[in-house]
Structure 1
Amino acid sequence: MIIMENFKMAMASLLSNKLRSILTMLGIIIGVGSVVAMISVGQGAQQSVTSRIGSLGSNLLYVNSGRANAAPGASQGARGAVSLITMKEYELLRQAKGEFIQEVVPEVGTQTTVQYGKQSTTTTITGTTADYSQLRNFKPAVGRFIDEQDVLEMSTVAVLGDTVAQDLFGDADPLGKKVRFGRENFTVVGVMEPKQSGPQDMGDQIFVPITTAQKRLTGSNNIKQIVISATSENAMDLAQAQVETILTRKLGSADKFTIRNQQDVINTVQGTTETMTMLLAGITGISLLVGGIGIMNIMLVSVTERTREIGIRKALGAKQNHILFQFLVESTTLSSVGGLIGVIAGIGISYLISRIGQWTTSVSLPAVLISFGFSTLVGVFFGLYPAKRAASLDPIEALRYE
């Protein structure tokens, strides 16, 4: 009964100063709304990037030369100036296809300028084999991909990514046309479908037979990386162990190559986006503390304004804990109502970002509950000192206060 009376008195006091109460809640509203919106954007981005990477295949292994931590400043996939992975290692792994290994695809790459008539663009030339399209789940939208005959004959054919095709040909049909890069003219036989891999635009590259790339572009038998698909996600560890055994036997040491799996890549991306999301949420959460200081300030003003009221209540028999609880209820109500409005605002902002900005957002229930709970705790924490000050007022001095 006493609790309800204190709550009614607290609400009456807040409603008697509506504008002041709204302005006091503003810091909490902005803080909670920002945290909810930032976390929803961060988690949406994480889900989007993860799904894009997963669309390339969830059972992939990547083999590169050297250890990722082989030397300070050394790039991944390199050990000194020598690439140890060649077509010989690729052939060995290809022969191991069976129970655990499904497909094996080599890749080489180089950056160069590609020309068609007066149009030019700088892009990546990727040399690979016919199995690349299926392994990467990346197919031509028009025309065809590289086939085994192209690889055997070292044909000067090219498959354009959609971005490169747009840069060079616009809306014109590129099939059968010749583009020039390196010292050769390459006949366009296909254009790939649009595809993203995390932040990477898969369409910003050109595919050629790996034998052609090695002979005419890189002049080396070395391979940038070998991509391997396991027969299933459950066979990933067994496939990785088999690959490691084959390459260790061939190269003489496990330090001469690195094997990463797709889940490692996904975990790295998730860890990065989670860190950025928490950083943004932490920065925006500072406004919650600012809002808490505002609540403390306004409650101290309220104690001063109601000194005589407190004195009268004490003279009529109110105890210290009654006064303490009343002012705590007022500060907690300010922060809780502000937190609730902030949650609604944050969900609304994330929805607008999704609709207007075409970003993927995901409202997190734990984030909503934590933000609201934290806003309530802010009200309790910053309202405690003014409440104690009100409860400790001497009733005689309070009644004399003008």
Structure 2
Amino acid sequence: MIFMMLQEAWSAMSANRLRTFLTMLGMVIGVGAVILMSSIGAGTQAKVKESIASMGSNLFIVLAGSMTSGGVRIGSGGVQTLKMNDASAIEELSSIKAAAPVVPGTAQLVYQSANWNTQVSGTTPAFFEVRDWPSEEGSVFSDSDVRSATRVAVLGKTVATNLFGDESPVGKTIRIKNSPYIVLGVLASKGQSLDGRDQDDTVMVPITTAQTKLFGSQFKGVVRFIMVEAVSESVMDKAEEEMQVLLRDNHKLRPNAEDDFTIRNLTALANTAAETTKAMSLMLAAIASISLLVGGIGIMNIMLVSVTERTREIGIRIAIGAKQRNILLQFLLEALMISIIGCLIGVCVGIGGAYGVSAFFPISVVITQSSIVISFLVATCVGVFFGFYPARKAANLEPIEALRYQ
């Protein structure tokens, strides 16, 4: 019986192909828009998660203090208040896994006829542990290189590509500020950071080499900032409090004096960015889903027209023994078929649109099964919901009045 009703529904839809297509169009656009927006949102979330993962886990950055000069307040890093022994002391805390002092700068690198200007950072081997940044080729420098202020360097992927192309840089000699440095290794690719900066466009050298031979410093052992990794996410708050107490004690600050350093929880900032992106993705999907409601209203309007046009047919069916539930089911099936077919076409349109956006624009898209399944279920529910009123109206027609209808 259901099969016969489906055949009848298909015949009714085929009899008015253009009207049926226009009715489906709202559902096609709605489902396509939901899948496209969901794919863009999921792609953005994946990109943010990738950037967060590339930073490392449970991270803090301790910045040097600020200063006020002539009424002008200079931001963090304006005063050289952090030293190598601060990093060593922080690393001794029970809640801290590793701490790496950093002295950043920029320099021109030269290898044969190629040259490249990039960020050069002096640090310790702990930096690669904190950032979870292994070498892809060769190795990183050791503590003995730091103690000896050896002229060695570890290259980021971007720097290695621009200076050496396809050639292996390990063991080769580059010049940084006209001084020779032996390349020990190349770091694994990290990609872009949350602010869009290329993390692979960098060079790492021993911190003592940067302080004494590369950038120089009028204050011995001074560093710009310290990268810190906590033991676990559960002790992040405790670690921050312990670092604050330790640094205030090391810097001999009075109880009422302001901190001459700044501690930032990078993991919390990254998680906030991820939550914001997730909220934006949900908002995009919600906006796109409004078009599904518009499509549902279109189905209801056309079904009401169909009921009016087929009033005499309905009267004949009731007169020869069709029950109310049969009429109700017949028109519900028609609405459901329009909704499902429109949904299937919309899924194809949405997937094609997502791939098109990815191909022609620098936007990452991720097509998830959940977005397709949810769109399909919502479209089906919309078809049933908006098709129920016309179907019930048809089922409640009085047979005598229906037969008299012209």
TM-score range, shorter chain: 0.7 to 0.9
Residue 26 of structure 2 aligns with an amino acid whose one-letter code is G
Residue 31 (structure 2) pairs with residue 32 (structure 1): yes
Further displaced range: 170-179 or 212-221: 212-221
Q: How far 1:283 sits from its partner (Å)?
A: 4.6
Determine if contact 1:112/1:124 at 8 Å carries over to the other structure: yes
Alignment of 1:202-241 (within 5 A): 202-215=199-212, 216-217=214-215, 219=217, 223-232=223-232, 235-241=235-241
Residue 39 of structure 1 aligns with an amino acid whose one-letter code is S
Determine if contact 2:156/2:201 at 8 Å carries over to the other structure: yes
- Give the alignment's TM-score, normalised by structure 2: 0.73
Counterpart position of 2:127:
132
Cα gap change, 1:345 to 1:302, in 2 (>3 Å) = same
Q: Helix, strand or coil for the counterpart of 1:137?
A: coil
Cα gap change, 1:29 to 1:166, in 2 (>3 Å) = same
Residue 277 (structure 2) pairs with residue 246 (structure 1): no
Q: How far 1:306 sits from its partner (Å)?
A: 1.6
CA offsets per residue over residues 85-139 of structure 1, 9 Å max, x none? 3434324324x25x43232101232345444454333322222112222332323
- Give the alignment's TM-score, normalised by structure 1: 0.74
Cα gap change, 1:26 to 1:84, in 2 (>3 Å) = farther
Tell me the distance in 1 between the aligned counterparts of 2:134 and 2:242.
29
Further displaced range: 342-351 or 372-381: 342-351
Counterpart position of 2:69:
none
Q: Helix, strand or coil for the counterpart of 1:146?
A: coil
Instruction: Please point out which of 286, 301, 309 is paired with 2:313.
Output: 309
Determine if contact 1:66/1:258 at 8 Å carries over to the other structure: no
Tell me the distance in 1 between the aligned counterparts of 2:388 and 2:117.
64
Q: How far 1:161 sits from its partner (Å)?
A: 1.1
How many residues are matched?
A: 387
CA offsets per residue over residues 49-68 of structure 1, 9 Å max, x none? 5356436543433323469x
Cα gap change, 1:161 to 1:350, in 2 (>3 Å) = same
Determine if contact 1:195/1:201 at 8 Å carries over to the other structure: no
Residue 256 (structure 2) pairs with residue 258 (structure 1): no
Counterpart position of 2:82:
85
Residue 179 of structure 1 aligns with an amino acid whose one-letter code is R
Counterpart position of 2:374:
370
Tell me the distance in 1 between the aligned counterparts of 2:264 and 2:363.
36
Tell me the distance in 1 between the aligned counterparts of 2:80 and 2:27.
57
Cα gap change, 1:84 to 1:275, in 2 (>3 Å) = farther
Residue 175 of structure 2 aligns with an amino acid whose one-letter code is V
Cα gap change, 1:81 to 1:273, in 2 (>3 Å) = same
Tell me the distance in 1 between the aligned counterparts of 2:198 and 2:218.
27
Counterpart position of 1:294:
298
Q: How far 1:359 sits from its partner (Å)?
A: 6.5
CA offsets per residue over residues 184-213 of structure 1, 9 Å max, x none? 424132232332255454321111222343
Tell me the distance in 1 between the aligned counterparts of 2:260 and 2:386.
57
In structure 2, stretches of 5+ residues that fail to align are 67-72
Over aligned residues, Cα RMSD in angstroms? 4.4
Cα gap change, 1:108 to 1:320, in 2 (>3 Å) = farther
Q: Helix, strand or coil for the counterpart of 2:166?
A: coil
Determine if contact 1:143/1:191 at 8 Å carries over to the other structure: yes
Determine if contact 2:328/2:392 at 8 Å carries over to the other structure: yes
Residue 281 of structure 2 aligns with an amino acid whose one-letter code is T
CA offsets per residue over residues 278-324 of structure 1, 9 Å max, x none? 24424543442443343234324423432332454566788988766
Cα gap change, 1:54 to 1:17, in 2 (>3 Å) = same
Alignment of 1:3-402 (within 5 A): 10=9, 13-14=12-13, 16-17=15-16, 20-22=19-21, 24-36=23-35, 38-40=37-39, 42-43=41-42, 46-47=45-46, 49-50=48-49, 53-54=52-53, 57-65=56-64, 78-79=75-76, 81-82=78-79, 84-94=81-91, 96-97=92-93, 99-174=94-169, 175-181=171-177, 184-196=178-190, 199=193, 201-215=198-212, 216-217=214-215, 219=217, 223-232=223-232, 235-251=235-251, 252=253, 253=258, 256-262=261-267, 264-312=268-316, 326-339=330-343, 342=346, 361=366, 363-365=368-370, 367-383=371-387, 386-387=390-391, 399=403, 401-402=405-406
Identity %: 41
Tell me the distance in 2 between the aligned counterparts of 1:350 and 1:322.
41
In structure 1, stretches of 5+ residues that fail to align are 68-73
Q: Helix, strand or coil for the counterpart of 2:101?
A: strand
Counterpart position of 1:70:
none
Determine if contact 2:65/2:79 at 8 Å carries over to the other structure: no
Q: How far 1:346 sits from its partner (Å)?
A: 5.7
Tell me the distance in 1 between the aligned counterparts of 2:241 and 2:42.
33
CA offsets per residue over residues 3-27 of structure 1, 9 Å max, x none? 9997775555345556654553343
Q: Helix, strand or coil for the counterpart of 1:196?
A: coil
Tell me the distance in 1 between the aligned counterparts of 2:216 and 2:18.
72
Further displaced range: 389-398 or 285-294: 389-398
Q: Helix, strand or coil for the counterpart of 2:129?
A: helix
Residue 195 of structure 1 aligns with an amino acid whose one-letter code is S
Cα gap change, 1:305 to 1:123, in 2 (>3 Å) = farther
CA offsets per residue over residues 307-348 of structure 1, 9 Å max, x none? 332454566788988766654443244224433564577678
Counterpart position of 1:71:
none
